Amino acid sequence: MIKLENVTKIYPTTTVALRNLNLHIKPGEFVSVIGQSGSGKTTLVKLLIAEERPNKGSIAIGDWDITKIDSNSVPFLRRQIGVIFQDYKLLPKKTVFENISFALEVAGERGQHIAKVVPQVLDIVGLHRKKDSYPYQLSGGEQQRVSIARALVHRPKIIVADEPTGNLDTINTEEIIEILKKINQFGTTILLFTHNRDIVNRLRRRVITLHNGEIAMDQAEGKYIL
């Protein structure tokens, strides 16, 4: 599903963000990627969604070699990869339903398809009763659930969750993780980038630890030990 071979990313300041990274993630895995600030987590996220390109090495996602992908193909790639950010990135003047449907509209989907899919993803995240609410009327946890629903509308094979619980309290954090686990049970590959020690230790799933741009540890049922 995801394969990185000898991936190196160096920024113009000669900062080596990732160094000869080799990584293989199988379809349907739930993988936590951890590491302290400066370890390379953010750079890895940007490479996976083709926001940036490596200086060396190859990145394959399914049948895509995203190190060679042209700019016109990037939107199609990103429909295979749902991305969840820490800061939600919701449109403040659109309702929950409109925020989610907008992701389909920009992809050229028809109204009939939108009317079918949006309620389905709202049910998955438990927000069908909030479909007419605006972001300011929602709690932080509810806003993050909207962003998860938006990430699901294209039925992606992969979800990249970049610090999705960073702004949430313990209760909302647990709810978001339970939703990600449910999505994973559907067969979707989950990559969870996090600083949260408790989440990683409770998940008891595969843990990849980055340190200075390299993989320091890769544990089948790991713990956050930094």
pLDDT bucket at 224, cuts 50 / 70 / 90: low
**Is-contact 10 16, C-beta < 8 A?**
yes
Backbone angles phi, psi at 130, to 5 degrees: -110, 15
- In which residue are the tokens 């449109």 written? 91
Model confidence pLDDT, tens digit, residues 61-107:
988 889 888 888 888 888 889 999 989 999 999 999 999 999 999 88
Model confidence pLDDT, tens digit, residues 28-57:
999 999 998 889 999 999 999 989 999 999
> What are the Cα distances from residue 166, in Å, to 47, 92, 125, 145, 163?
21, 20, 18, 14, 5
Domain segments of the chain as ranges = 24-54+69-80+156-226, 90-155
The dihedral over CA atoms of 74, 62, 11, 226, expressed in degrees to the nearest 10, equals 130
Options 3.40.800.10, 3.40.50.970, 3.40.640.10, 3.40.50.300; CATH for 24-54+69-80+156-226 is: 3.40.50.300
Mean of pLDDT values over 152-174: 93
- What ranges make up the beta strands (E) of 35-177? 56-61, 64-65, 81-84, 158-162
Helix or strand holding residue 7 (H, E):
strand 2-10
**What local confidence, expressed as pLDDT, does residue 62 receive?**
86
Q: Which residues have C-beta within 8 Å of that of residue 177, sequence separation ≥ 6?
A: 165, 199, 202, 203
